[in-house]
Structure 1
Amino acid sequence: MLFDKKGSMDEHEAHDIIENVVAAGDIGMFSWHMDTGTFELIEHISGYRLQGIHSLPDFLERYVFPKDLEIALQDLNNYLNGKEEVFQSTFRVLDSKDKMHWVFCKGTIMESNKLAGLIYDVSANKMLKGNDYTTNLVDAKYLTRKLGNAIQNKQKENSIGALLYLEIDNLHSLINHYGFKFGSIVLYQMSRILLNFTSGKDEVSRFPNDKFMLLIDNVTSNDEIKNLGKKIIKMLEAPLIVEGLPVYLNVSIGMTLFPDADKDAIELIRQSDFAISHSKEQGSNRASFFDTELMETFNRGMQIESELANALNNDEFYLVYQPQLNVVDNIITGFEVLLRWNNKRLDFVSPAEFIPVAEEKGYIVKTGRWLLQETIKTARSWIDLGLEFGTLSINVSPVELFQKDFRERLLETCVKYDVPPEKIKVEITERTVMNSNAKNITIINDLLADGFKIALDDFGMGYSNFNFLFEFEITTLKLDKSLVEHIKDKKRRLFIESILKLRDYKDFDVIAEGVETKEELDTLVGLGCRRIQGYYFSQPLKRSVAEKFLMDFSNKSADMGK
């Protein structure tokens, strides 16, 4: 008898019900009599007649897909050793017709020292933990666990494994154009391509959104995994055919080896993800290996992340103010307020280093609130001193701008310090607006209606959309430093001239950033650009120095007017 009789049900009737349920092929039952060494099994999932089995470990070794056996045995041992209250494991089974099934096995020790349980075929379950429904690959959590085991095994064997992390850069764009079903087909086809590059214990996993991870069980050198990355990129030069359409994929790949000192699975995944970011910086279809050079950059980023958590509480941030001038009328039109960080361990940290980390980790909201308040306090102080400073411009990230209370907080702070909204300019990037929905655009329009000024920063850095300028109201457009640096280039000069003509039509101000030489200044003025910001006039100044700059400039202008 497989299970004890319960209630008043006839034993033979119960057995018939069990047989009928199991015959459907989705459920199986097992019972391991641990004292006598006997094992009973009823299942039709695998299509095999398993004989000569005396224990649950024996069954798992015969039943489980080889790549998942270590995980299944680990789950059983964890239960038998008291680490888990119930034995449960998810793994794959290759049936007698070479069809792969995802199986969930669950059991517990009953009376008479018998471990009994059920086996479920959960292949069609979209919510299954361990399996990615779209690609039928193992999911990120399952792969991470396998990686942890692989690290331990490689340490014992004194051998090397590798991770290859791949991201489809243009998947989001494809889904926007053709829909989610189309995107799912792309993901499935990519999974089949990557499986072609695996053998033995290698594993391919679907990670969230547009990423895949290859766990390569055995490699002999850095060059071997680098060549694998090149082969994958080479294969993707040919288009996929999706619903009759040729689809070219842009991918970025990051690679790393293991084991490495005390690095665990999560750390290794972060390293390969960091290598992906480096690949993206190099352009489309690139593969980067996490080497010593990248390690230094990665470690620096980790240090920044760690120290940034308490930077505000430790009073490590400070503000500097860079003047903006109208060189034709010889007046100061404003200051850009810039955040700076000086850390006890890291010394001065560039905004280019810490701002992206602050945005990613969520520190930017709290830090931005501090910057906003300090800026408005400065505005109040300068108003009280009778200084004509124009506007104070604050850089606002998308994370901050689209916080529900951003507008309300900005208004409340202005009211608190009695600063007119028109004295504050909010600087945003073109990308911020281009990636925004209609609701978010409304927030920007509301700020304009409140009297705040809006500046579009870094215009001309890479792709810039002229049509966008006709649809979106702004107060100021800031020409990116890259345009000014290459102002001798005819195409860039024509670009600037076009912006200035549009300025006159749309009635917004144009400020040229990063002006460092008289030649750049003269050329810009000759083109009709009157407003300038850059080291030619002044570097960013601490508040006390900026105040003196304002006073000196005001006195100088007054003397010139006499």
Structure 2
Amino acid sequence: MSHLVQASAKEMEQLNNTLLESEQRYKSLFEHNPDMIYSMNMNGYITSVNPALVQTLGFSETDMLQAHALNFVCKKDHKRVVEHFRLAIHDKPQTFVTSIRKKDGSEIVCSITNIPIVVNQSVVGVYGISKNITWQKNAEEKIERLAFHDSLTGLPNRSQFEKRLREFVEENQHTKNKLAVMFIDIDHFKIINESLGHHIGDVVLKHVSKQLRQTIKGEDLLCRFAGDVFTLILPTLDKPGEVIDTANRIGEALKMPIYLDGQEYTVSASIGISIYPDDSMDADVLIKNADIALHKAKEKGRGKREFFTGEMNAFTLERLKLEGYLRKAIQKGELQPYFQPQLCMKTERITGFEALLRWNHPELGLVSPMQFVPLAEEIGLIDDIGRFVLFESCKQLRRWHDEGAHHLSISVNVSGRQFQRLSFVYEVKEALQTSGIPAECLHLELTESTMIHNVQYSISIMQELRELGVKLSIDDFGTGYSSLSYLKDFPVDSLKIDQSFIRHLSDDFFNTSDAAIIKAIIMMCEGLSLSTVAEGVETYEQLKLLREYGCHTAQGYIISKPMPANEAQLFLKEFLKMKNSTS
């Protein structure tokens, strides 16, 4: 009997030790956890808090114990938070985002997980585990803003302009109101940039945007469309002369002098105008017609304005001429891929090139891609041109591989129309087979708008391309939708940070918020296992900062401008020679 008593006592001692150890482990997890942890009873009153919660919110433990959890939640979220609590006590864990009030009156954004406390198979309360995600939400909001706003002037950008114009047109189809689209172009801005420098050009753009803001009504929408072109939508025309009055106010506002390096300057602007529904009932056509009117205004000299007229379509004769030249450009060998090197920030080696198309016409000279690529898309030539660039780029990479540069990759831009074509995957497969390059050495760059056009179809095509071994990249991140939710869904390997994000990274416009946004993008890419490529890097200071932030690859004029294949080959040799001499 005594043996049984001794055995029972020993077991009880072991059980007590186990319970004590378990309690100590729980207490350690609770008290030393960097996340904010608290428990609530079935009525939502706080029964325990950990040090992280006390330290973050600034309330004492006494202040928080027995207080209702809603006392610390912003009022607008009360109803939603109560519903999450109700589901949690019904044994359904919940994760949600809300704003939490600190003792000093400020608020932080938190991601909270509610977990039911189960004792003897019954829910007796709820644990709350909270993470402070304020910095992440701020970065996401800034990125979202950059998607639809110009970073220099703060105005809505082209994406926002086109989106809102379509919405206005749809609304006016029901209200029968007229609206006006105005294209405003700074006269001789190219001369300002070239003679005084891009920094002064930026100052002029900010001055113009400030003056234009002062001329418009509250419901009007002013945007920076591109370069030195601003757009203005007058969504409701109450009287026939309203457009002329607005154009006159713009002209007067721009007479305000601007002082640059001690010198007084004034600028003027040419204006092109189209009217809904007189000139078109389609948003894209209204844009095109306002642009045509703008070019006619500029032909007449500085500070002129022109309304679109049907006769202006004669202006398109020049465009038709360009179209005829473009249709023969491939056969005549006038189109040529240029190659811009990409530098690995860690190894300082050239790891690849991006193929960029150039058109050298015998009469017109070097035609800007901004001029002929949209035209090629509009007239259906972009498929043939895209195929040409893809195959030529793969062949050129094979030549470099054959010469010993096996580590190089090639990045090729894919247009929206090309990507959405059913035969695109087969085209890529054919380019790989014809050239004989490894699939992982081909990087296809897709724009955000291309993929979001048809999300499910885009994902299926991307998965097929990934199965081939091809690498995929999101190009010009920040200039389109920049949706982080889409970023998580798309099977991509890398993200190209648009140059507008880093343009002022190292000059007088540098500020901590610019740096924070870039860091946030890089950090989020790291969390999603995506590599990052910074494009448009122009200074050593930008290169240095991007390396410090953890960016993987850089591309831009500081490394090299785009160049023909033979010059790219010489560049590779010279770059390797320079690296060997300094190592």
Q: What TM-score comes out, normalization by structure 2 length?
A: 0.49
Residue in 2 aligned with 1:498? 520
Residues 1:254 and 2:268 aligned together = no
AA in 2 matched with 1:355: V
- Structure of greater relative contact order (alpha carbons < 8 Å, 6+ residues apart): 2
2:491 to 447, 461, 473: 473
CA distance in 2, matches of 1:473, 1:362: 28
Q: Quick check: 1:525 aligned with 2:547?
A: yes
Which SS does the other structure have where 2:443 is aligned? Answer: strand
For the pair 1:377 / 2:377, whether they are aligned, the reply is no
2:538 aligned partner, one-letter code: E
Shift of 1:336: 0.3
Contact 1:316 1:341 in 2 (8 A): yes
Once the two structures are overlaid, the 10-residue window that deviates more, 269-278 or 468-477, is: 269-278
Aligned residue pairs: how many? 323
Contact 1:271/1:290, CA 8 A, preserved across alignment: no
Quick one: which of 514, 519, 540 aligns to 2:536? 514
CA distance in 2, matches of 1:349, 1:226: 40
- AA partner of residue 546 (structure 2): L
From 442, 449, 457, give the equivalent of 1:431.
449
* Correspondence for 1:541: 563
Q: Counterpart in 1 of 2:434?
A: 416
Q: Which residue of 2 aligns with 1:454?
A: 472
User: Which residue of structure 2 lines up, in the alignment, with residue 189 of structure 1?
Assistant: 174
Alignment of 1:311-350 (within 5 A): 311-350=329-368
Kept in 1: contact 2:499–2:537 (CA 8 A):
yes
For residue 289 of structure 2, what is the aligned residue in structure 1?
Answer: 275
Distance 1:418 1:168 in 2: 42
1:300 Cα deviation from its structure 2 partner? 5.3
> Over residues 273-299 of structure 1, what are the superposed CA-to-partner deviations in whole Å (9 max), with x where a residue is unaligned?
62345799xxxxxx97349xx999866
Q: Which amino acid aligns with 2:175?
A: M
The 8 Å contact of residues 449 and 481 in structure 2, kept in 1 or not, is answered as no
What is the Cα-based RMSD across aligned positions, in Å?
A: 3.9
- What amino acid maps onto 1:420 in structure 2? P
Greater shift, 357-366 or 385-394, is seen at 385-394
Contact preservation (8 Å) 1:427, 1:454 = yes
Distance 1:546 1:229, change over 3 A: same
Quote the offset at 1:372 in angstroms. 1.1
CA drift of 1:481 comes to: 0.9
Match of 2:503 in 1: 485
The one-letter code of the counterpart of 1:501 is M
Residue 6 of structure 1 aligns with which residue?
Answer: none
Q: Distance in 1 between matches of 2:442 and 2:477?
A: 20
Q: Is the 8 A contact 1:271 1:298 kept in 2?
A: no
Q: Does structure 2 retain, via aligned residues, the 8 Å contact 1:335–1:389? A: no
Q: Distance in 1 between matches of 2:430 and 2:481?
A: 36
Deviation at 1:323, TM superposition (A): 0.3
Q: Secondary structure at the match of 1:340?
A: strand
Asked if structure 2 preserves the Cα contact closer than 8 Å seen for 1:255 and 1:275, the reply is no
Shift of 1:412: 1.5
CA contact (8 A) 1:365 1:400 kept: yes
Relative to structure 1, the CA distance from residue 408 to residue 173 in structure 2 (aligned partners, 3 Å threshold; closer, same or farther) is farther
Among candidates 281, 288, 308, match of residue 326 of structure 2: 308
Long gaps (5+) in structure 1: 1-166, 176-182, 196-223, 234-251, 259-264, 281-286
- Which residue matches 2:211? none
Change (3 A) 1:350 1:194: closer
Task: Describe the superposition over 1:17-45 as per-residue Cα deviations: whole angstroms up to 9, x where unpaired.
Answer: xxxxxxxxxxxxxxxxxxxxxxxxxxxxx
* Structure-1-length-normalised TM-score: 0.51
C-alpha distance after superposition, 1:108-134 (max 9, x if no partner): xxxxxxxxxxxxxxxxxxxxxxxxxxx
After superposition, the Cα gap between the structure-2 partners of 1:437 and 1:174, relative to the gap in structure 1 and judged at 3 Å, is: farther
Conserved 8 A contact 1:342-1:349: yes
Secondary structure of 2:329's counterpart equals coil
Residue-by-residue CA offset, 1:497-549 (whole Å, 9 max, x unaligned) = 01111122111111111111122222222222241101111111210111122
Which secondary structure state, in structure 2, belongs to the residue aligned with residue 541 of structure 1? coil
Change (3 A) 1:490 1:227: farther
Give the whole-Å Cα distance in 1 for the aligned partners of 2:287 and 2:325: 21
Q: Is the 8 A contact 2:531 2:552 kept in 1?
A: no
Shift of 1:389: 4.7
Residues 373 and 231 (structure 1), Cα distance of their counterparts in 2 relative to 1, 3 Å cut? same
Q: Is the 8 A contact 1:274 1:298 kept in 2?
A: no
Shift of 1:189: 2.4
Aligned residue for 1:129? none
Whole-Å Cα distance in 1 between the matches of residues 511 and 529 of structure 2?
26
1:344 to partner: Cα distance: 2.1
3-state DSSP class of the match of 1:334? strand
Q: 2:318, 2:404 → 1: CA distance?
A: 44
1:149-188 correspondence runs (5 A): 170=164, 186=171
Distance in 2, Cα, partners of 1:520 & 1:450: 35
Query: Which sits farther off after the overlay, 424-433 or 386-395?
Result: 386-395
- Where do residues 88-237 of structure 1 align in structure 2 (5 Å cutoff)? 170=164, 186=171, 189-191=174-176, 193=177, 227=241, 229=243
| Structure-2 separation of matches of 1:502 and 1:483 | 15
Could you tell me how far 1:553 is from its partner in structure 2?
A: 2.6
Give the deviation of 1:381 after TM superposition. 1.0
Tell whether the 8 Å contact from 2:419 to 2:450 is kept in structure 1 after alignment. Answer: no
SS at match of 2:373: helix
Using a 3 Å threshold, how does the CA distance of structure 1 residues 455 and 171 change in structure 2: closer, same or farther?
same
Hey, what's the Cα distance between the residues in 1 that align with 2:327 and 2:558?
Answer: 35
What whole-Å deviation, never above 9, does each CA across 1:360-407 have from its counterpart, x for those lacking one?
A: 111110111111111111111111111145210011101111111111
| Higher fraction of helix | 2
- Alpha-carbon distance between aligned partners in 2 of 1:474 and 1:226, rounded to the nearest angstrom: 51
- The SS at the match of 2:516 is helix
Larger Rg: 1
CA separation of 1:546 and 1:490: change in aligned 2, threshold 3 A: same
1:551 aligned to 2:569? Answer: no
* Structure-2 separation of matches of 1:297 and 1:336: 35
Query: SS at 1:456's partner residue?
Result: strand
